[in-house]
A and B are shown apart, each in its own frame.
Chain A
Amino acid sequence: MVEKLVITGNEGSALAFKQIEPDVVAAYPITPQTELMHNFARYIADGLIDTDLITVESEHSAMSACVGAASAGARVMTATSANGFALMWEILYIAASSRLPIVMAVVNRALSAPINIHCDHSDTMGGRDTGWIQFYAENTQEAYDLLITAVPIAEHPDVQLPVMVCYDGFIISHTNEVVEVLDDKTVKDFVGEYKPRINILDTDNPFTFGPLDFHDYYIEHKRQQVEGMKHAYNVIPEVFKKYEDVSGRRYEYFEKYRFDDADVVMVVLSSTAGTAKVVVDELRGEGLGVGLLKPRVFRPFPHDKLREALKDKKSIVVLDRSDSFGAFGGPLFTEIRSALYGIENPPEIIDFIYGLGGRNITKDELKTAFMKAVDIAEGAEVKNRVDYLGVRE
């Protein structure tokens, strides 16, 4: 049974958490994630689910408790934002390196300083090398769906890696929209029962957790971790396909919008892609051959699929909602540009850093970015390959 609701990003994610009903959730409140856990805690208080909610004194402890519970074979979830994510840092690596299939919602928010509670991607983009699989959701529908798909992806025996599902703070977390949700049983059946390969409480099959591992074996274990991420690359589309069968909603590594016949393409993550779709429609109305590509999966990065999709375009404009200080462009730009290296006649590519600290991104600004790429496609010289959008200078 399918139901349509008008709910916020945090309400939709809390509903996904409830329907997944993990064994353990350990969490600490931080704006704009708080409302997610607030709603989830209400499901527990109302006696609707049996999850053990561990309330801890910090996010460092939250992720540590998740690591402990996951090592004991529990299905574990959590959620955070920004500075809370930063405080988890040490343990994020430990969760991934210990191959623990924890699923976490991250409500994207700018990092301090200056203090800012609004959206950008500095938090999770900083965590792109922690070893977690990373999904970026455009809206509440995607946040809900991707959280549900994250569970079997994380727990797949060939993967065994944690997954974070990111969505934009306030812009999605506190906005209500129409969302199609599944019934509890469909979600329960989809995620199935978690059967951990090993667990710390299984005294009949003793196993070492958190060992010392120096120059004798550390690099081999890192190499195996890379293998897990490679397996994830094949498992993700399999799980997305199964999800399509139960939900009717099709997910892929990236969404293409009016893309195939476009000469000029914008690449952008998350909620801004929704605004960009409207801008694409308006520019198409003016006769311009523009399109959009919205990656949903940033780790593992679908470099070969993106190269194939983008190789014949005339120009590409990437939008990054986080900066990488001292680097040549934002994280999305550097990945895409690297994916296009070495092909014949690669498209021109430019980058705009935008929307830091929740700065509103307007349709006019997106048009400006598109028009720069259109001019370049028509032969204009690339002056500032990496530039800023909507900044007073």
Chain B
Amino acid sequence: MENELLEIRFHGRGGQGVKTAALLLAEAAFETGKEVQGFADYGPERAGAPVAGFTRISDKKVTIHSFIESPDIVVIIDGTLIDSIPVLEGLKKDGPVIVNTTLPPEKIANKLKKKTNIHTIDATGISLDILKRDFPNAPVLGAVVKVTGIVPLDAIERVFTKKFAGRDEIIKGNIAAAKRAYEEVKSI
């Protein structure tokens, strides 16, 4: 029964779109016919405070309503959190870790004390370049899709189109950012 349920945990900071990333990934998986759940654990809702996001994807109805303790995948939207919170806690054996950072995967591997299945993307750089603002969550989702294959990239694109309906520039920018991250993610 365990392997029917895929659990993804996001770590980031208030203002980076952690909750939105978790909910959008759930919506994208729903587009592919899955049962889903997306939510976040946030405290005082202030910019910069650590935030955790959670996505569950399953073939069966998801009824569990507690935080994800043993994720299959960890996504770190703010690489600086590696030094301050136990981001890999409970990660299932050698599960993939996707990190928004300018550092190469080898350096992140040293910091995380994890040798393989580490993936880095400069999502902040891509966001500043394409969207002209620091919204790293869209490119991070592009990297997640490339690394894990849990949904096709076009499911993410369809969700952006729905979510930002009527705001064509934002849709185009987010799709372009996700696509570029999809191409540029580095792995060991």
Contacts and interface: CB of A to CB of B under 8 A. Distances in A.
Contacts of B65: 139, 168, 171-172, 175, 271-272, 274-275
B164 to A, nearest CB: 15
Interface in B24-70: 26-27, 30, 35-41, 61-67, 69
A138 B41 CA distance: 19
Contacts of B87: none
Per DSSP, chain B at the interface is mixed
A275 B30 contact: no
A338 interface: no
A178 interface: yes
B23 interface: yes
Per DSSP, chain A at the interface is mixed
Contact of B66 (A170, A174, A362): A362
Given A174-B40, A177-B37, A360 B26 contact: no
Nearest to B5: A278
B19 interface: yes
A355 B106 CA distance: 41
Central interface residue in A177, A277, A360, by most chain B CB within 10 Å: A177
B1 interface: yes
A139 B37 CA distance: 11
Given A176-B23, A178-B30, A6 B36 contact: yes
Interface in A1-26: 4, 6, 8
Interface residues of A, number: 26
Contact of B39 (A138, A175, A277): A175
A307 interface: no
A272 B26 CA distance: 21
B19 to A, nearest CB: 7
A170 B67 CA distance: 12
A363 interface: yes
Contacts of A171: 39, 65
Contacts of B39: 170-171, 174-176
Contact of B36 (A8, A168, A178, A285): A178
A4 to B, nearest CB: 8
A361 interface: yes
Interface string B10-29: 00000000010001001100
Contact of A176 (B36, B41, B66, B67): B36
Given A6-B30, A277-B63, A176 B69 contact: no
Given A6-B26, A6-B27, A175 B66 contact: no
State the 6 A-B residue pairs at the shortest beta-carbon distance, nearest first: A274-B63, A175-B39, A271-B65, A6-B30, A176-B38, A278-B64
11 contacts: A6-B30, A139-B63, A170-B39, A175-B38, A175-B39, A176-B38, A177-B36, A178-B36, A277-B63, A360-B66, A362-B67
Given A139-B65, A171-B65, A175-B65, 5 more contacts: A6-B26, A174-B40, A177-B62, A362-B66, A363-B64
Interface of B: 1, 19, 23, 26-27, 30, 35-41, 61-67, 69
